[in-house]
Amino acid sequence: MDMAPALKDLHHKVSRLSGGIIRYDDEINDAYIHHFLEKSLKNGISLVAVDFETQKIVGEIHAYTLSLIAFRHMLSELTIIVDPDYQGQGIGKRLFTEFFNIVDADFSHIHRIELYVRNFNDKAIRFYEKLGFINEGPQKNKILTKDGVLETPLHMAWFNPKYRHNYWE
């Protein structure tokens, strides 16, 4: 089953929310979806949540290692989205729980997982902190909105308690 069209639709829906994902709606195209899927499946993790009654993808999380060897201990570019019609039902928490379970079982070489969150998105910040993410501070004026406004996201990281350096083994 090709999930790319459904993922593209979901990313479009979430990108239109105020304070949603940082990527703009017109940047969400087939190339973007295939890019993160390829990277996540090759060097990371990609999971979806499905409403089994409707067979609709209602959530997605992905992250992957960057190409520099010096960053081989990190999963970066973490993105999590949940369909606005399904938010508040624990889907994001379940996606993260399974994500962390996979890290525990299969990614002991991963020390940290990183994400950005807009500094005014208090609900998301609290959610990430409850999951164990640490606020590493603001990235002043890193986001340029379409309206020309500069926004400051927070850089957050989760540290794997089961990390074991084994890259060279």
- Which residue in the block uniquely carries the two structure tokens 């729980």? 97
93 pLDDT above the threshold of 60: yes
pLDDT at 2: 80
Residue 131 confidence (pLDDT): 97
d(CA 100, CA 94): 10
As a whole-number percent, the residues of the chain with pLDDT over 90 amount to 83
Q: Average pLDDT in the 76-101 region?
A: 96
The pTM of the full predicted model, rounded to 2 decimals, is 0.92
In the sheet that holds 112-118, the strands lie side by side as 44-51, 56-64, 74-82, 112-118, 153-159, 134-138
Model confidence at 167, pLDDT cuts 50, 70, 90, reads: low
Residue 83 is which amino acid?
D
DSSP SS3 for 129: helix
Q: How far apart are the first and last CA of the chain?
A: 36
How high is the mean pLDDT of the chain? 93
Tell whether domain 4-159 is in CATH 3.40.630.30. yes
Can you say how many angstroms the Cα of residue 3 is from the centroid of all Cα atoms in its chain?
17
pLDDT tens, position by position, 20-78? 788 888 999 999 999 999 999 999 999 999 999 999 999 999 999 999 989 999 999 99
Amino acid at residue number 43: N
Q: What is residue 32's predicted lDDT score, i.e. its pLDDT?
A: 95
**Could you tell me where the DSSP H helices lie in 16-81?**
30-43
